[in-house]
Amino acid sequence: MPGAAAPAVLLACTLALGSPAFAGTLRGSIVGGREVAPHSRPYMASLQLDEKHICGAVLVRPRWVLTATHCEVAWNLSDFRVVLGAHNLNTPEPTQQVFNITRAVPYPLYNAQQDIHDIQLLKLHTSACRTSSVRPMPLPGRNRDLRPGSQCHVMGWGETTGHDDPSAALLEATVVVQPQDTCNTSWRGALTRDMLCASTGTRERRGVCVGNSGGPLFCRGQLQGVVSFSSMVCGSPHFPDVYTRVSAYVSWIRDVLQHY
């Protein structure tokens, strides 16, 4: 795995965590997104299989990241890793911290057929070093609903239009929370109260696609959603992207953090 010299502030972390990552071919996409300022989203994590990005994740505590359960890692933890502090996944940046995963804790009532309770916590082999490029994201209050019309941001690595080659740089798209009944009309009643959906609210295509599962929906300075599923037509205005509503799981998250 390619390495790079680390600045003094990261030297101890680099010795413990491994070399900066080089992810190779990417499989994610943010449709209608824009590149963010490098390292301006310090909570963003890349979940990788055999050193290739497969899902987004978000740092919620120094040793824990939150992602979607359908980003299955429990079958062979040793094949997966988490990369923090990255902006360009094709560059071995000195800000990057690389972790093995020692435990996967999916929500116990997860149902893959119905896409419900699609949330899990992954424990890193050691705590992340807090830097300007690596910092946890605050959790929301318990069972706090987002009002329809709330503006949020979803982020990940990949395409900007849904038709071009993937970008290795971190991208972000602005989306708007949609009413639950609108979502259920589009998705034929598939959404539960523990989900929320978001789109542009217009005819413009903007949102998530393959590879952005597990990534964060960031609203009003807090983590409000985890990417769960979307339409086959990425960013479709007719089928808003669906997220696991994090506020519904805050008690469970805190319980896992305390007991594991």
123-127, 187-191, 201-205, 248-252: the lowest-pLDDT one: 201-205
- Topology match between the domains 8-27+42-136+251-259 and 151-247: yes
Instruction: Write out pLDDT tens, residues 26-80.
Output: 334 667 778 999 999 999 999 999 998 889 999 999 999 999 999 988 789 999 9
Query: What values do phi and psi take at 203, rounded to 5?
Result: -85, -5
- Give the position of tokens 């449709």: 31
Q: Which fold has domain 151-247?
A: Thrombin, subunit H (2.40.10)
Out of 29, 115, 118, 167, pick the active-site residue.
118
Cα torsion angle, 88, 91, 94, 97, sign:
positive
C-beta of residue 56 within 8 angstroms of C-beta of residue 47: yes
Which DSSP symbol is given to 203?
Answer: S
Pick the closest to residue 171 from 67, 24, 40, 35 (CA basis).
35
Catalytic residue check, 194? no
Enter the tokens of residue 189.
Answer: 């009643």
Cβ neighbourhood burial of 127 (10 Å; 0-12, 13-18, 19+):
middle
Q: In the prediction, which pLDDT does 168 show?
A: 87
Give the pLDDT of residue 179.
94
**Residue 12 DSSP SS3:** helix
| Average pLDDT, integer, range 212-230 | 91
- 19 catalytic? Reply is no
For Cα atoms 84, 86, 89, give the angle at the middle one, nearest 5 degrees. 120
Q: Which burial class, exposed, middle or buried, applies to 164 when counting CB atoms under 10 A from its CB (0-12, 13-18, 19+)?
A: exposed
- What is the residue-averaged pLDDT of the chain? 84
DSSP code at position 178: P
This prediction's pTM:
0.86
The string of pLDDT tens digits covering residues 133-153 is 999 998 999 877 889 999 999
Closest to 18 in 3D by CA, of 55, 59, 58, 48: 48
Q: In angstroms, what CA-CA distances link 179 with 65, 115, 170, 220? A: 28, 19, 28, 18
According to the model, what pLDDT value does residue 86 have? 98
Active-site annotation holds for 153:
no
Which runs of consecutive H residues, i.e. helices, occur in the chain?
Answer: 8-17, 180-186, 250-259
Q: What is the mean pLDDT of residues 95-120?
A: 96
* Cα–Cα separations (whole angstroms), residue 18 to 88, 98, 125, 225, 237: 17, 6, 11, 30, 41
Task: Give the confidence band of 238 by pLDDT, cuts at 50, 70, 90.
Answer: confident
Which CATH code of 3.30.1360.150, 2.40.10.10, 1.20.120.80, 3.40.50.2300 fits the domain covering 8-27+42-136+251-259? 2.40.10.10
What average pLDDT does the segment 177-183 reach?
A: 92
Structural domain boundaries of the chain?
8-27+42-136+251-259, 151-247
Residues in the chain: 260
pLDDT exceeds 70 at position 4: no
Q: What mean pLDDT do residues 153-176 have?
A: 75
Q: Which of the residues 213, 228, 236, 247 is marked catalytic?
A: 213
Query: How far is Cα 28 from Cα 62, in angstroms, rounded to an integer?
Result: 25
Question: Which runs of E-coded beta strand occur in 26-96?
Answer: 30-31, 34-35, 44-49, 52-61, 64-67, 80-84
Active-site residue, selected from the candidate residues 70, 125, 127, 145: 70
